[in-house]
């Protein structure tokens, strides 16, 4: 019998509702757990009737903390626990429970058993009672069913039992890459990284596209984008970033289109270029970090005009959020400190003094008549830079 907590029991929630497709999502979650941990960290990762169990190669507390940090970033995990394994022998299960409870501080406890293996002699309630009586006999701790100091969980599976006293919250959601691929228009600000994160949480794999005005903006702005993508990559384990030069397009628009429409024309060009990249990547949608009425281009009228050029869906996960909600998520996922570093955003270049807040599609199409749109798209796609993480 293992004497250290060399097993992890992972539970999921939403995946369990997937019916005939459930095995696909379970296997995707299992693959993502392996990617998150790395091959030197575990001996095996297996499905066991509604849960995933990992046998980890655990030797130090520092290793355990790193594993915990990694699993907290795996979408699809509702909670997980470092556990002890015991054979399906009631006496050994009682001794293992005693060992776990004795090392915990607190005077009250309860046993919470679940029996997936119906061939095991005792049902869940009988396991609770039998193990609880043994703990009372061997310690000075008292049973308390509501809000005890210690809860010992016992899961009776087909070949072994798994015991633990702490559940660690996972991020929930669906496994990354289980819902297809999307292209995320990402900047160095707070919003677009959060939008990407939320799409990953729903199972999408994000390909990132960032528009820049280098050398008119400094190189640090590009490095900031790369750093944000590296942080987000911790949630999907493999990422591609397209860096698209945009300064020449901005200058063309500035010279040939009315000033008040510049931002909308910039955004329409970004959508056009991004959907060309979506074709290259076999992606099914575009993602932006826009929130309703946050800035001039984000009114309903302007977003409708911008979306008119799209031939794939444009999703805006933050559309109903206020800035404080977005900032809180950014802090939780680790992008906030990088996002607030000073940078030169490409859209700030050639910014109009009084941008249109309710542009009409007719006016915008009239303004675009002076632009060689297909040529600008072709050049942008040709000179793009691709980085992988």
The per-residue pLDDT for range 193-245, each reduced to its tens digit, is: 999 999 999 999 999 999 998 877 778 889 999 999 999 999 999 999 999 99
**Do residue 228 and residue 138 come from a single domain?**
no
pLDDT at 55 over 70: yes
**2 belongs to a structural domain:** no
Q: Look at residue 57 in the predicted model and tell me its pLDDT.
A: 92
Domain boundary (116, 137, 169) is at 169
Average model confidence (pLDDT) across the chain:
94
**Do residue 356 and residue 207 come from a single domain?**
yes
Q: Look at residue 78 in the predicted model and tell me its pLDDT.
A: 97
Q: Look at residue 31 in the predicted model and tell me its pLDDT.
A: 97
Q: Please name which of 290, 69, 55 lies closest in space to residue 195, comparing C-alpha atoms.
A: 290
Banded pLDDT at 350 (limits 50, 70, 90): low
**137 belongs to a structural domain:** yes
**Do residue 142 and residue 195 come from a single domain?**
no
Q: Look at residue 258 in the predicted model and tell me its pLDDT.
A: 94
Domain boundary (108, 143, 169) is at 169
**Do residue 165 and residue 202 come from a single domain?**
no
**Do residue 196 and residue 334 come from a single domain?**
yes
- Give how many domains the chain has, as a whole number: 2
Domain boundary (149, 169, 189) is at 169
pLDDT at 10 over 60: yes
pLDDT tens figures, 156-183: 999 999 999 999 999 999 999 999 999 9
Token pair for residue 306?
Answer: 């911008």
Q: Look at residue 58 in the predicted model and tell me its pLDDT.
A: 83
Q: Look at residue 344 in the predicted model and tell me its pLDDT.
A: 59
Query: Residue 259: what are its φ and ψ, rounded to 5°?
Result: -55, -45
**Do residue 148 and residue 33 come from a single domain?**
yes
**Do residue 44 and residue 95 come from a single domain?**
yes
Give me the percent of the chain exceeding a pLDDT of 90.
Answer: 87
CATH of the domain at 52: 3.30.2130.30
Averaged pLDDT for residues 290-302: 87
Domain that holds residue 369: 181-388
129-133, 172-176, 341-345: least confident range: 341-345
Q: Look at residue 351 in the predicted model and tell me its pLDDT.
A: 66
């Amino acid at each position: 019998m293992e004497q250290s907590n060399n097993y992890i029991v992972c539970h999921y929630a939403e995946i369990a509702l997937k019916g005939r497709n459930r095995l696909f999502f379970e296997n995707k979650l299992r693959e993502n757990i392996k990617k998150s941990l790395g091959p030197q960290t575990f001996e095996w990762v297996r499905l066991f009737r509604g849960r995933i169990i990992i046998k980890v190669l655990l030797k130090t507390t520092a290793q355990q903390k790193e594993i915990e940090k990694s699993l907290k970033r795996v979408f699809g995990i509702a909670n997980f626990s470092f556990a002890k394994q015991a054979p399906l022998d009631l006496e050994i299960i009682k001794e293992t429970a005693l060992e776990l409870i004795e090392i915990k501080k607190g005077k009250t406890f309860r046993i919470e058993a679940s029996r997936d293996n119906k061939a095991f002699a005792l049902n869940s309630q009988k396991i609770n009672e039998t193990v609880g009586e043994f703990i009372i006999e061997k310690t000075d701790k008292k049973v308390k069913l509501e809000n005890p100091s210690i809860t010992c969980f016992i899961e009776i599976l087909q070949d072994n039992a798994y015991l633990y006293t702490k559940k660690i919250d996972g991020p929930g959601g669906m496994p990354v890459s289980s819902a297809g691929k999307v292209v995320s228009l990402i900047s160095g600000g707070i919003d677009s990284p959060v939008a990407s994160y939320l799409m990953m949480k729903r199972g999408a794999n994000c390909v990132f596209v960032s528009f820049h005005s280098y050398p008119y903006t400094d190189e640090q702005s590009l490095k900031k984008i790369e750093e944000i993508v590296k942080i987000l990559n911790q949630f999907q384990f493999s990422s591609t970033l397209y860096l698209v030069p945009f300064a020449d397009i901005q200058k063309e628009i500035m010279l040939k289109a009315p000033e008040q429409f510049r931002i909308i024309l910039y955004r329409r060009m970004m959508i056009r270029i991004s959907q060309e990249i979506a074709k290259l990547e076999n992606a099914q949608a575009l993602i932006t970090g826009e929130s309703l009425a946050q800035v001039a281009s984000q009114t309903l009228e302007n977003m409708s005009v911008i979306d008119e050029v799209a031939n794939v869906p444009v999703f805006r996960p933050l559309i109903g959020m206020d800035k404080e909600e977005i900032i809180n998520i950014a802090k939780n996922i680790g992008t906030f400190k990088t996002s607030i570093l000073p940078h030169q955003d490409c859209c700030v270049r050639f910014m109009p003094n009084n941008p249109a807040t309710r542009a009409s599609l007719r006016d915008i199409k009239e303004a675009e008549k002076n632009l060689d749109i297909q040529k600008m798209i072709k050049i942008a796609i040709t000179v793009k830079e691709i980085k992988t993480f």
